[in-house]
Every structure is written in C-alpha cells, then in structure tokens.
Structure 1
Amino acid sequence: MSQSATPPQPPAQPQPVDGNPYAEQPGAVPPPPPAPYAPPAPPKNNIALGLVTAVVAALVAAGIYGVVIGTTKHEIGWAAVGVGFVIGLAAGKLGGRNPALPVVSAVLALGAVYLGQLVGEAMISADLLGVSFSQLFFDHFDAVQEGWKGDADPLTFLFFAIAAFAAFSGTKKAAL
C-alpha cells in the first residue's frame, strides 16, 4: 500500500509581539497618503512690484509717523526706525534680491521720515494757530518747512540715518 505523503509545509512564522499576524507580510503597511498640492512660490526678483510696494509703504508709514508726532508732540526715534523697516520689509518681500531695492528703500525711508516730520510739524502748528491741518500743510507748505528747519536738531538727522539703515538692512533680510 502506498502511503500518501503530505507536502512539506513551510515553517510556521513566529507571531509578532503586538499580536498582529499580518504585520510582517509585504504590502501590509499602506503607503503614505500623497502630499497635498502646494502652489508654486511667487517669483522673486520682481523689481517693479517691490518698488510700487515700497512707495505705498513709504506713504502710509509717513502718514502714521506724522500722526504719532502730531499727537504726542514729540519725535519718537523708534517710530522712525519702524518707518524704515516697514519700507524695507515690503520691498524685500515682494521685490526679491534685486541689488537696487535696498538703496531705493533707504532713499524712500529718508523721504518718508521727512514727510512724516512735516506732517507732525503741521499738526502741531495747526493746533497752536487754530487753523486746519490741510490749510496749513497745503496752502502754507513753505511755512511748515521753515518751522521744521527751526525745530531740527542733530537727533533729527540721526533718526534719518537710522531709518535709512533699517530700510536697507530690512530689504536685504526680507529678500532671503
């Protein structure tokens, strides 16, 4: 009689310690989900966008700086630094690494601080004279400038330098 032999069985796989019998099988772990779609980064080195943004930031910052001076009746140095840094940040973030942007930002910061100080001077003088700000600032701009010249001291020009430096370095740092 012939005895039927059972085919040899593969050796039993040891059970994993966590109790999952399917953990060691190929394909048992699902693949990671696909990464979500990320839109491409905006293009850098757009000098036109950087310049337009820096000019708008300079005008807004000059107005705010002027209102701060007119309200407090004092020049505030850190506010001048903020004016420069905001201009530099705007130019660098949207304009990129163009080498002209830090220089243009520094020049715009000088103009913005000057304009802000003129606005502040006009606000203070308008209160003292009992006239409207717009009448004094737009109709008698030469008198506002003369008043600014009379009030300017070395600290005023230090604020100019610090604001220009903040704009220059802020543009370089924001463009990284």
Structure 2
Amino acid sequence: MSQNFQPPAPSSYTEVPAPAPAPSGNLGLGVLAAVVAAVVAAGVYGGIIGGTKHEIGYAAIGVGALVGFAAGKIGGRNPALSAVAALLSLAAIFAGQLFGIVLIAADELQVGAFDILGEGFSPIMEVWKADADLLTYVFLGIGGYASFQISRKVAN
C-alpha cells in the first residue's frame, strides 16, 4: 500500500444558495375574491346590526375570517395578499357598521334606506362616532388580524 495518499483538493467554487421561491398563486384573483367577500360580508354584517339593533363584535371577526379565507384560498401565498385582506376586512367591518346604522334609522323613521342615504354621509358618520366605543375599535382590530392570519394559513 502506498502511503502517499492525498485527499482531493477543496473545490475552488462556492455553492450559491437557491433563489427564494416565487410567491405562488394569483394576486389579482386573490384581491378580487377578497373584494367580493368584503362586499358580501359587509352587507350581511350590516343586516345583522340592523336586525338586532346593536353591534355584535364577534360577527366582525367573522367578516375578517371570510375575507381572509377568500383571499388566501383563491390568491395563494403571496405575502402582499394578507395585508390587502386585512385592510379590506377593516373596510368591510366599517361599511357593515355604517350600513347597520342606515337600516336602523330607516326602520325607526319608517322610510327606505335610500332615503337615509340621500341625506348624505355626514349624519351617518355622526351616529357612528357617537356610538363607537373601545370595543368597536377592538373588534375592528381583531377582525383585521383574523383576516391577515387566516389568509396566510389557508393559502395553497
């Protein structure tokens, strides 16, 4: 046996790390699905508020969950989609609250909802501001957070 065995020389190249995977899914379809879910959820949430004559905070979480689910399931894993879903769910919760105020006012005044809307946006906002309390803001935040997390968890 030969005692002159030498290990192979270390290679002169360095290994390049693999590129980060591209976001999967379709951002445009995810945003569209989230917008549709937000409009539907806002209408349902406003109907619940109008029917019960008070805000149900846990329903706001349901709005966020629906928007996040639609965005993540249709749009995939694009990280921007979670942020968009959270913002859309905040808008949907707020719109649902305003729609609920319109429905309550229309019922109390025995007029149509379009008659209330015809008076302008300012009186509706004044009622919202007067009714808003800490829990209003807490459930807005929780709804947005739920949307963000659910859109990430259900993404394909």
Fold equivalence (TM over 0.5):
yes
Q: Which residue in 2 is equivalent to 1:3?
A: none
Gaps of 5+ in 1: 1-43
The Cα shift of 1:138 comes to 4.1
Instruction: Give the residue type in structure 1 aligned to 2:104.
Output: I
The Cα shift of 1:137 comes to 2.2
Q: How many residues align?
A: 133
Q: Which residue in 1 is equivalent to 2:70?
A: 90
Paired residue for 2:121, among 135, 141, 145?
Answer: 141
More helix by share: 2
Name the CA distance, whole Å, in 2 between partners of 1:138 and 1:88. 32
Structure of larger gyration radius: 1
Q: Which residue in 1 is equivalent to 2:6?
A: none
Paired residue for 1:48, among 13, 28, 31?
Answer: 28
Paired residue for 1:101, among 81, 85, 95?
Answer: 81
Moved over 4 A (4+): none
Q: Does 1:58 align with 2:58?
A: no
CA RMSD for the aligned pairs? Answer: 1.0
Gaps of 5+ in 2: 1-23
Q: Which residue in 1 is equivalent to 2:110?
A: 130
Task: Please state whether the residue corresponding to 2:54 is helix, strand or coil.
Answer: coil
Q: Does 1:116 align with 2:96?
A: yes
TM-score normalised according to structure 1 size: 0.73
Name the CA distance, whole Å, in 1 between partners of 2:126 and 2:146. 27
The Cα shift of 1:77 comes to 1.5
Contact kept, 8 Å, 1:119 with 1:137, in 2: the verdict is no
Alignment of 1:25-40 (within 5 A): none
TM-score normalised according to structure 2 size: 0.82
The Cα shift of 1:111 comes to 0.2
Task: Please state whether the residue corresponding to 2:78 is helix, strand or coil.
Answer: coil
Percent identity between the two aligned chains: 51
Name the CA distance, whole Å, in 2 between partners of 1:153 and 1:78. 15
